[in-house]
A and B are shown apart, each in its own frame.
Chain A
Amino acid sequence: MNKSITIDAHGLPFVKLNREIKRAIAEGVTHISLLNVNGQRYIGDGLRGKLRITINGIPGNDLAAFMNGPEIVVYGNAQDCIANTMKKGRIIIHGNVGDLLGYAMRGGEVFVKGNVGYRAGIHMKACDKQIPVIVVGGTAADFFGEYMAGGIIILLGLNRQHNEPIAGDYTGTGMHGGIIYLRAEVPKEHLGKEVQIMKIEQQDKAILKKYIKKFAQEFGFDPDKILEAEFTKLLPMGKRPYGQKYAY
C-alpha cells in the first residue's frame, strides 16, 4: 500500500525539512511530494529503501548524497554535488544541474534533461557488480568524467546550437575506468591525456539503446531519433596513467 504526503518546504531550514521527511518515512510514507523547495540541502541524504520523492522547486547541494534506494524526481533545476557517493536509486531532473554531478557515485541511475556543470561524473566507480549510470540530455562543462574509475556516462547534447561543443575541455582527465559516450565527434584537444577515442561496437549500441530509451521515456523524447546520430566512445588508455612517475 502506498502512503503519500505533501510537505511545503517554504521557509523550512534544511535540518527541519529533512527531519520531517525522515519522520514521514518512519510512519510508513512511501511517496513524498515536496513543494516550494528553494535551495534546501541534503534532501534524500542517506535515505534507503523503497521511496519516491518528487521535488517542486530547486533542491540545494548534495541532493541524494549517500542515498541507497529511493527515487527522486525534480521538476526544476538542481544544484551541486547531486548523487554524491550514491549507492542505489534513481534521480530524474527536469532541468539543468550544477557542478560535481554524481561525485563518486557507485550505483543507481541519474537522468538530467538539461546541461551539467563542471566535473560531472568525477570519481564515479563501479562497486560490487553495480554500475552507476548518468545520462545527460544537454551539454557538459569542463572536466567531464574526471578521474572516472567505473560506470557509464552518456552525454547527448540534444539542445546544442550549431558548432557548440558537446563538452568542455579536459574531458576524461585522469580517467582510469568506465565508459563515456558522447553523441557527437569530439576534437582530441578537448580530451584529457588519459583517454582515447574508440569505435562504437555492437555491445555499445545495446548499452546506448537501453539507457537512451529510459531517458527518452522520462522526458518524452523519441529514442530512435536520438540514436540515429553518431556516437563517440571514450575509454581510459590504461589503468596506470601515472605509472611512469615513480622509481621503486
Chain B
Amino acid sequence: MLMKSMLISEFIIERNLDRCIVCRACERQCGFDAHQYDPEDDVMVSIDENCVGCQRCSYICPTNAITIRRNPTEFQPHAQWDANTIHNIMKQAETGGMLLAGMGNDRPYPIYWDHLLLNASQVTNPSIDPLREPMELRTYLGRKPDRVEIEETDGKPRLKTKLYPLVEIETPILFAAMSYGALSYNVCRSLAQAAQEFGTLFNTGEGGLHEKLYQYGDHAIVQVASGRFGVDEEYLNTGAIIEIKIGQGAKPGIGGHLPGEKVLADIARTHIYSIEDLRQLIFALKEATDYRKPISVKIAAVHNVASIASGIVHAGADIVAIDGFRGATGAAPVVIRNNVGLPIELALAAVDQRLRDEGVRNNVSLIVSGSIRNSADVIKAIALGADAVYIGTAALIAIGCHLCQKCHTGKCSWGIATQDPYKTRRVNPEIATRRLVNLLQAWSREITDTLGGMGINSIESLKGNRLHLRGVGLNQVELDILGVKHAGESL
C-alpha cells in the first residue's frame, strides 16, 4: 500500500511572480528538482519538500525573484522533541535506513575557540609593526632533531646534524583531505592550484590523485587509507607528504562513504589493529620512498586521543593530524557525525601536553582540523600547540558551498560535491583558485597583524605558548585540560 509521507518541508520557496520571467534557470540549476515548469499555465511551480536550502536558485535568479526561507511551521513547542528530532524519526519510519548527511556535526556543542582570548602587548613589551618588520609565518612540517650541531669547515659554519625530511609551507594553513570522487575535478584542481600558488599543501583524501593533478605533487599530501584507492609506488613518490588515514572526525571508527555509494559504503574499515601494525605500515611507506618524505598519521579526536597520539609518535610518524568531532565529510551516518568524538580544542591541548610530558613533542608536527572557521581559530590552535591547521569546510565555503549538508547525495547544486558534468562546470577553476588564494592571504594577513600586536614576529614563537591565551566562561576542568588561565588571572 502506498504510504503518504508525513515529512514536512524544511524550506519554503517564495517566488515573487511579479518579478519571475519564467526563464527556467532555477529549474536547471536546482540539484534537487524543487523548481518545475508548468507549460499549461506557463509558470514556475515550487516543490518545497525537495528544497534543501542550498540557495543556489536565489543566487542564480536574474530578477532576484526567489527567496528561500526555513519553513516557519511550528510544532507544539517541546524542549525535548524539537522539529529536527521529529523530522528524523519520520524519515526513519518511512525508510528504515540510517540517516546520512554531509559536512560536519551541526549540533550546538560548546565551541571552545570562542571561549579563548588572545593577549596583546601594552607598555611592558613592545608590539611589532608588521608593515615595518619582517613577520614569519613559514612553517616546517616533519620531525625536528633533538638538537642541532654546527661544525666549521674552511671557516664556514655548516649544519652537522642530519635533518629529517621537512616540508616548507608559507602559512600554517593547509587544505584538508578532500577526495576526488567526493568533490569534482574542478574543485580538486582549484585546491591544488591555490596550494601551489600560495605555497602550501592540499590533501588528496583517500580517493587517489587525478592524473592531471600529478603536476601539483610537490604541493600534495597523498593519503593512504585501508582501501588503498589509487595508491601505488608512483603516487607515493609524487606527494610531498604521505598521510596514513586511520580516521576522521566526522565518523571515527567507520569507513568511507562516498556520495551515492559510488564506492561501496562501509568497506573501508581500517585494518590497523595495533601500534605495531601502524609502525609496519609507516616503515613500509618510508622504505618505498627511501625515507625522503615525512609520514603523517591522521586520526579522529576520540576519548583517549593523547595516548593514541603518543603511540603514533612512538610508531615512527613524523606528523600527527588530529581531526575534531566537527570535521566535515562527504557522507556520514548522522548518529556518528553528531555524537562521536571530541572537540579539537580539547584534543589538541591534551595531545600537545602529553607529547611534551614525554619529551617527544619535537619528534612530530601536529596538524589539527575540525571546523577552523577563521584566522583567530588558527592563531588559538597554534597557541594551544598545533604546528598548522587543515581547513576543509572553510575552503569549500570560499568557492560557493552553502552548507546544505547534502553532499552525500552527489547532487550539489553548487557543482562542488558532485560528478555530474552539467553541475561541475559551475566551479570555474581560475575563479575558485583566486578565491582560495584570497582566503589564505586574508587569514595570513590577519595572523601577521595579530602576532604583531602580541609582540611576536614569528609563528614559531607562538607555538604552544598558552600564556598568550586566557579562558572566558570555562570551568576549572576545562581550563586545566586547555592548560590556560582564566581571563583576569595574571602570570
Cβ contacts B267-305/A at 8 Å (1 or 0 each): 100010000000010011001111000000000000000
Tell me whether chain B's interface is mostly helix, strand or loop, or mixed: mixed
Give the residue name and chain of the B residue nearest to A87 (CB). Answer: B232
Known contacts A123-B228, A245-B265, A247-B98: A87-B290 contact under CB 8 Å: no
**Inter-chain contact B92/A68, CB cutoff 8 Å:** no
Checking A85, A242, A244 against B231 with a beta-carbon cut-off of 8 angstroms, the contacting residue is A85
Checking A15, A22, A45, A248 against B284 with a beta-carbon cut-off of 8 angstroms, the contacting residue is A45
Checking A147, A239, A247 against B91 with a beta-carbon cut-off of 8 angstroms, the contacting residue is A247
**Inter-chain contact A244/B236, CB cutoff 8 Å:** no
Known contacts A123-B226, A241-B264: A246-B280 contact under CB 8 Å: no
Subset of 19 A-B contacts with CB under 8 Å:
A18-B287, A41-B280, A41-B287, A42-B284, A46-B287, A46-B289, A61-B280, A65-B287, A66-B233, A81-B284, A100-B271, A103-B228, A176-B267, A239-B264, A240-B264, A245-B98, A245-B266, A246-B99, A248-B95
Give the residue name and chain of the A residue nearest to B280 (CB). Answer: A61
Count B interface residues, CB 8 Å: 35
**Inter-chain contact A174/B267, CB cutoff 8 Å:** yes
C-alpha gap A119/B225 in the complex (Å): 17
User: Does A109 lie at the interface of the complex (its beta carbon under 8 Å from any beta carbon of B)?
Assistant: no
User: Does B227 lie at the interface of the complex (its beta carbon under 8 Å from any beta carbon of A)?
Assistant: yes
C-alpha gap A245/B257 in the complex (Å): 12
Checking A22, A61, A84, A147 against B267 with a beta-carbon cut-off of 8 angstroms, the contacting residue is A147
Known contacts A122-B271, A246-B100: A66-B264 contact under CB 8 Å: no
Note all chain B residues with C-beta closer than 8 A to A41.
Answer: 280, 283-284, 287
Give the residue name and chain of the A residue nearest to B285 (CB). Answer: A66
User: Does A67 lie at the interface of the complex (its beta carbon under 8 Å from any beta carbon of B)?
Assistant: yes
Known contacts A65-B288, A174-B267: A246-B97 contact under CB 8 Å: yes
The 5 lowest CB-CB distance pairs between A and B, nearest first, are A46-B288, A247-B97, A104-B228, A247-B95, A42-B287
Count A interface residues, CB 8 Å: 41
User: Does A243 lie at the interface of the complex (its beta carbon under 8 Å from any beta carbon of B)?
Assistant: yes
Note all chain A residues with C-beta closer than 8 A to B430.
Answer: none
User: Does A71 lie at the interface of the complex (its beta carbon under 8 Å from any beta carbon of B)?
Assistant: no
Note all chain A residues with C-beta closer than 8 A to B265.
Answer: 240, 242-243, 245-246
Cβ contacts A115-133/B at 8 Å (1 or 0 each): 0000000110101000000
User: Does A94 lie at the interface of the complex (its beta carbon under 8 Å from any beta carbon of B)?
Assistant: no
**Inter-chain contact A66/B232, CB cutoff 8 Å:** yes
Note all chain B residues with C-beta closer than 8 A to A246.
Answer: 97-100, 265, 333
User: Does A142 lie at the interface of the complex (its beta carbon under 8 Å from any beta carbon of B)?
Assistant: no
Note all chain B residues with C-beta closer than 8 A to A123.
Answer: 226-228, 267
User: Does B245 lie at the interface of the complex (its beta carbon under 8 Å from any beta carbon of A)?
Assistant: no
Cβ contacts B85-114/A at 8 Å (1 or 0 each): 000000110111111100000000000000
**Inter-chain contact B91/A45, CB cutoff 8 Å:** no
Give the residue name and chain of the A residue nearest to B411 (CB). Answer: A248
Note all chain A residues with C-beta closer than 8 A to B409.
Answer: 248
Q: Which residues of chain B (224-252) have a CB below 8 Å from chain A?
A: 226-228, 230-234, 236-237
Give the residue name and chain of the A residue nearest to B269 (CB). Answer: A147
**Inter-chain contact A62/B100, CB cutoff 8 Å:** no
**Inter-chain contact B100/A247, CB cutoff 8 Å:** yes
**Inter-chain contact B264/A104, CB cutoff 8 Å:** no
Q: Which residues of chain B (384-416) have a CB below 8 Å from chain A?
A: 408-409
A46-B233, A85-B228, A104-B226 are known contacts; what are 15 more A-B pairs with Cβ within 8 Å? A22-B290, A41-B283, A45-B284, A45-B288, A46-B288, A81-B284, A100-B271, A103-B228, A240-B261, A242-B265, A246-B97, A246-B333, A247-B95, A248-B408, A248-B409
